[in-house]
Amino acid sequence: AAGINKREALGLGICVDHRRKNRSEEGFKANVDRLKLYKSKLVIYPRKPASKRAKKGDSDQKEIDAVGEQILLKTVLPITQPEKVLEVRKITKEERETTVSAVLRKALTDHKRAGARAKLAADKILGDFICV
């Protein structure tokens, strides 16, 4: 999506992990934008500077001259995380009095015993019909 294949990425110093998967569209878009920004700022020196013809992808002399000024800055492309906004509120009396561990234990037990309880209820209904 960023227009960089695996061989080119390895040549440009971009690590490629074939096991990695982008789980969300937002993260994928952020990675693509970051790679495009990196490639736009990348200056590729020609292998043969004395050559009259430049290869595809090589930077021209203006960009190469501008690099000397940028090296002094020594800034890296930062990954900016969006700032999370927390909603703060007062704890209610009901929340303060509840025992969370007991509520969780009850929910876990209900989930675990749901099948057995359904079977008991079904057997009870069938048992009423048999006894009559």
Backbone phi, psi, residue 60, to 5°: -85, 175
| Radius of gyration over every alpha carbon of the chain, rounded to an integer in angstroms | 32
Whether the model clears a pTM of 0.75, i.e. scores above it, the answer is no
Over residues 14-60, the pLDDT tens digits come to 888 889 888 899 889 988 898 888 888 777 777 776 666 666 667 77
**pLDDT-derived band at 114, boundaries 50, 70, 90:** very high
Residue 79: both structure tokens together: 């990954």
Over residues 4-16, the pLDDT tens digits come to 888 888 887 888 8
Backbone phi, psi, residue 124, to 5°: -65, -40
